[in-house]
Amino acid sequence: MRNNDWSRILGWRGYRVYRSEIDEQAKTLKLWVRRKGGEFFCCGCGRTVSEIAEVYEREVRDLPCFDYRTTVAVELYRLRCPDCGVKTEKVPQLPSKAPFSKRFEDAVGEACESAAARRVAKQFGLAASTVRSIDLRYLERWAANRRKPVLTQMGVDEIHLGKKQKFITVVSNLDSAEPAWFGRERKKETLDEFFQGELTARQRMRITAACVDMWEPYRLSLEQWAPNCRIVYDKFHVMQHANQAVDEVRRAEFFRKGGAIRGLVKGKRWLLLSRWMNLSSPKRQELTELFAMNRKIFKAYLLKESLDRLWTYRYEGAMVNYLHRWIEQLRWQRLKPFQKLAEMLVRHLDGILNYCRTKVPLGIVEAINGNIKSLLRRGRGYQNLRYLLLKAQRMAATRTEFVAFRKAA
């Protein structure tokens, strides 16, 4: 094949192939390319530079050609930039110092969107750690080229990463439905760091609402840094506490009673934490049997289910009334975890009622939380929080793109 044809097949803009080598045994193809001419750009500052200091060659892996793994040897120039000194020229096909072309990295990054790094590594014949660094660069390039969404309504959440890394704090943007920032631990200082490092004073003033858990350190930080922000103790976070209360009752009953009831309570955790309306009839039957045996668990479940209805009210007075009636039901029940929950709700009543005063989208915090957890379940290498954040943002963005596409179609 002529070099001209190789140049066309390769399709590197501004470059032509001057030599090729095919190894049939090894199934490899190697192409040597050099520039057709044109201007040189400094990779440091981007300006045009005419003085050349040195010519050298670099090899990168490109997309395969049929069955052949393809390597491109590129002739490159080191330039003498008046501002930066001796620097390599900027070449769009070579986005980093790693031995891969841009479109090869894009292909790996795209594959990582629907499969775990280990599987992509197998597919491309790379180490999993290499795939993760390619994916990270791919995501960084994507993030650099998009407009950062404005933050007016935020969610603050905590996610448990495991015994070693413990908690991270997740700040999310409720308007764009994506995570905005991750920080280690869940202290006041953690959230302070976000407000100080990520936002200008003006941007902090623009925040009007925050959906958070009833967790003092977060409240203190929000009050200090976002003076126009209304704290909303939203349904998702309150119901998490209600679920915990049900679970405490379940465990207490499990240990208190012996024999038959133990067998019945065992393995019912998930069922008890599910909403009744989401359960199939056999599952409902299982729960009904359990409730017939144990009144306390039954009561706890009903209390949790009825608390959920609090957010059907959009008027403060109605919400307060409903909550009072709910607390009334606790009397004589001797359900300690629920009494504690009731006290907590009363202490945070103002923030709960803010739901009526500020319109915040429900379910977003929960969805973002779920996405991050599914990423953590599926993959490794997320000790790097930046990687986890970009991954979760990309996930949110492609999902919305997908939805928008379906709407258009």
Binding site for Zn ion (CB under 5 A): 42, 44-45, 81, 83-84
Counting Cα atoms < 13 Å in the Cβ hemisphere of 305 gives 14
The residue (of 51 and 223) whose beta carbon lies closer to Zn ion is: 51
The residue (of 42 and 353) whose beta carbon lies closer to Zn ion is: 42
CA distance 182 to 170: 5
What tokens does 21 get?
């080598």
The residue (of 44 and 217) whose beta carbon lies closer to Zn ion is: 44
Q: Which residues pair with 230 in a beta bridge?
A: 209
The residue (of 91 and 107) whose beta carbon lies closer to Zn ion is: 91
CA distance 188 to 233: 17
The residue (of 45 and 403) whose beta carbon lies closer to Zn ion is: 45
Q: Which amino acid is at 106?
A: D
Least separation in angstroms between residue 62's CB and Zn ion is 27
The residue (of 81 and 368) whose beta carbon lies closer to Zn ion is: 81
Cα–Cα distance list, 220 to 170, 214, 223, 344 (Å): 16, 11, 5, 17
CA distance 392 to 90: 30
Least separation in angstroms between residue 55's CB and Zn ion is 18
Would you give the DSSP letter of residue 152? S
CA distance 290 to 307: 21
Count of residues for the chain? 409
Least separation in angstroms between residue 95's CB and Zn ion is 18
Q: Which residues pair with 65 in a beta bridge?
A: 68
Least separation in angstroms between residue 83's CB and Zn ion is 4
CA distance 136 to 81: 30
Q: Which residues pair with 154 in a beta bridge?
A: 173, 210
The residue (of 80 and 188) whose beta carbon lies closer to Zn ion is: 80
Least separation in angstroms between residue 102's CB and Zn ion is 21
Would you give the DSSP letter of residue 89? B
Least separation in angstroms between residue 40's CB and Zn ion is 10
Least separation in angstroms between residue 80's CB and Zn ion is 9
